[in-house]
Amino acid sequence: MTGFQVGRLVKRKRSIILATFTAFALVLSACSGGGSGSTAPTDEPKTGGNAEVKAEKSYEVSLFYPGTPQKDVEKVQAEINKYIEPKIGATLKINAIDWGQWDNKLNLMISSGEKSDIIFTAAWQNYTVNVAKGAFLPLNDLLDKAGPDIIKNLDPAFLEGSKVDGKNYGVPTNKELAATRGVLVRKDLLEKYNLDITNVKTWADLEPLLKTIKENEPSVTPFYMSNSTGNGLLDNLDWDYLGDASVPGVIRKIGSDTTVMNEVETPEFKEAAALARKWYEAGYINSDSATSTVFPKDQAKAGKVFMWTDGMKPGKDKEEESYVGFPLTQIELTQPTITTGDASGAMLAISRTSENPEKAMAVINLLHSDPYVNNLLNFGIEGEHYVKKEGSENIISLPEGTDPNNRTYNPGAQWQLGNQFLNYLWDNEDPEKWAKFKDFNARGVKSPALGFTFNSQSVKNEIAAVNNVNKQFKPALTSGAVNPDEMIPKYAEKLKAAGIDKIIAEKQKQLDAFLASN
């Protein structure tokens, strides 16, 4: 019997005892002319309302996600709890962890067994590795029991594509399913120097733009990168990582070839590393790119960045513009594709250490179904952190006297938290944004390995060893701080010594079996 089952059994026994005691108390109360006892809360209308006092103490659900801690988080949290506690008998504790500290915090939570409930995870954030460690609970039964609105609203491809061995360990954000990569660019600087982007089709085509900014804007970094967010040229190649970008072994997303490769040995990797080196030596990339933990958009918010990479989608520029405070435009540099990793590109998992997984799932269910809860968490309190455009229920703008630099609640984490199709739109965004999302998804080219997720259990020791090698070599190569001709051979040799060939062979074996069965 698992610890989770034991906990359920103990709670069941306590409930029986409590019910017996309550019944006895009601009899005594009736005999003395007292009123009726407390009843369990029922669902309130979307607008809230007063609920009857609950028989049991509510459970505090802790949410951990990577992002900038917000000044008014306690105030927003109180508003959320005022609304959700009568509905589900739970409150929410919001914990944003700076991006630069996220990996260390998450690893420490998992290794120490620290109590937590909802944890952000993703294919590019050690999802399958942490599943193999037993960090997250399987959610299939919980989804049926406490997540009916998730199942109803979410494209089935998300849940199917994010499974590991037939089980879901994370609830995907309801957002774009296809993915493409590119850059966000300061539009005001493009216009200031009359820079044309219509012919930019490849990463190398960005070079003239970077050169102009380098020569004319000494206080602005032409191409900003950091070591904490996977925003370098080597992180933007057209690979399908087969379920988890932290596990080596890739295939090409486009085409029919399903040969699993060591990316470090591919021509694409070497070409991107050479371009990064060229840009670094030219001064286009910030000199601390291999060690900086500052998220690019936070640096851009200070007016110090011209361009940075990101995942693209319809309206990404306007979405980020409201955070950065400068006019932006986006340049897409890869074809929209759909992989298993895209289906699991942003998810909320429930920790193995949660003391009440059903309440945690109930919170996630509200984030996927209740516009009031979703927008409170993502945008804050109406009238204080935003105002609605007159005559509109979903178009918002900043209150008078507020600008991006003095905002007290602006997480910018909509893509992480629930159902983006419930999100308000800023007044600078396209009113047809969500319709364009659907078109974007329809244009996505499916990877030949769509639906496959690698089970890393049998090679978890090798993966740990390989990731240690990656930490030693990849940041410097990605930033362009070292000569790739000298460093890549050493990198490849260390990877082989760490067991990368065993991992790739196991990935190929599992992929071949998946393809044969499908």
Positive or negative CA dihedral for 393, 395, 399, 405? positive
Q: What is the residue whose two structure tokens read 């399903």?
A: 258
Strands 180-186 and 305-312: antiparallel
Third-level CATH fold of 180-335+452-517: D-Maltodextrin-Binding Protein; domain 2 (3.40.190)
Q: Which two tokens stand for residue 403?
A: 């600008």
Contact 406, 385 (CB under 8 A): no
Identity at 477, one-letter amino acid code: L
Alpha-carbon gap, residue 461 to 458, rounded angstroms: 8
Q: Where are the domains of the chain?
A: 48-176+342-449, 180-335+452-517
Beta bridge partners of 329: 185
Spell out the residues 6+ positions from residue 485 whose beta carbon is closer than 8 angstroms to its own. Answer: none
CA-CA distance, 66 to 98, in Å (whole number)?
A: 6
Distance CA 92, CA 365 (A): 13
Rounded to an integer, what distance in angstroms lies between the CA atom of residue 31 and that of residue 274?
A: 86
Amino acid at position 431, single letter: P
Q: How far apart are CA 390 and CA 379, in angstroms?
A: 18
Closest CA to 77 of 377, 368, 356: 377
Which of 452, 308, 368 lies closest to 171 in space, CA to CA?
368
Go through the chain and tell me how many residues it has: 518
Compute the chain's Rg from CA coordinates: 25
Q: Which pTM does this prediction carry?
A: 0.69
CB atoms within 10 A of CB 428: 15
What does the DSSP 8-state code read for residue 416?
Answer: G
- Same fold: 48-176+342-449 with 180-335+452-517: yes
Phi then psi for residue 114, to 5 deg, are: -60, 140
Tokens standing for residue 339: 């992989």
Q: What single DSSP character describes residue 250? A: B
How far, in Å, CA of 151 to CA of 147, rounded? 7
d(CA 233, CA 238): 11
Interatomic CA distance for residues 32 and 110, integer angstroms: 53
| Cβ proximity of 419 and 174 under 8 Å | yes
Q: Rounded to 5 degrees, what angle do the CA atoms 264, 268, 273 make? A: 70
Q: Are 236 and 181 a contacting pair, CB within 8 Å?
A: yes
Cβ-in-10-Å burial (0-12, 13-18, 19+) of 316 comes to: buried
CA distance 133 to 127: 10
Q: Please tell me the predicted confidence (pLDDT) of residue 46.
A: 38
Q: 52 is written with which tokens?
A: 């009857």
What dihedral do alpha carbons 512, 513, 516, 518 form, nearest 10°? -110
Q: What is the pLDDT of residue 56?
A: 63
Whole-number Cα distances in Å, 126 to 107, 110, 130, 192, 417 = 10, 12, 6, 41, 18
pLDDT at residue number 229: 65
- Distance between CA atoms of 361 and 143, rounded to whole angstroms? 7
Q: What is the rounded CA–CA span in Å between residue 68 and residue 72?
A: 12
Distance CA 441, CA 448 (A): 17
pLDDT in tens, the chain (518 residues): 444 343 443 333 334 333 333 333 333 333 333 332 322 333 333 333 333 434 468 999 999 999 999 999 999 999 999 999 999 999 999 999 998 899 999 999 999 999 999 999 998 888 988 998 999 999 999 999 999 999 998 988 888 888 888 899 999 999 888 889 999 999 999 999 999 999 999 999 999 999 999 999 999 999 999 886 667 888 888 899 987 788 899 999 999 999 999 999 999 999 999 999 999 999 999 999 988 888 898 899 999 999 999 989 888 999 899 889 999 999 999 989 988 888 888 999 999 999 999 999 999 999 999 999 999 999 999 999 999 998 888 999 999 988 878 899 999 999 999 999 999 999 988 888 888 888 888 888 889 998 888 888 899 999 999 999 999 999 999 999 999 999 999 999 999 999 999 999 999 999 999 999 87
CB neighbours of 145 closer than 8 A, spacing ≥ 6?
358, 361
Strands (E), 205-335: 221-223, 239-240, 251-252, 305-312, 328-332
| Residues contacting 483, CB < 8 A, separation 6+ | 277
Assess contact for 220 and 209: CB atoms under 8 A.
no
CATH class, range 48-176+342-449:
alpha beta
Give residue 443's pLDDT. 86
Q: What is the pLDDT of residue 434?
A: 84
Q: Which two tokens stand for residue 389?
A: 């455009």
Residue 39's pLDDT is: 28
Tokens, residue 465: 């060893």
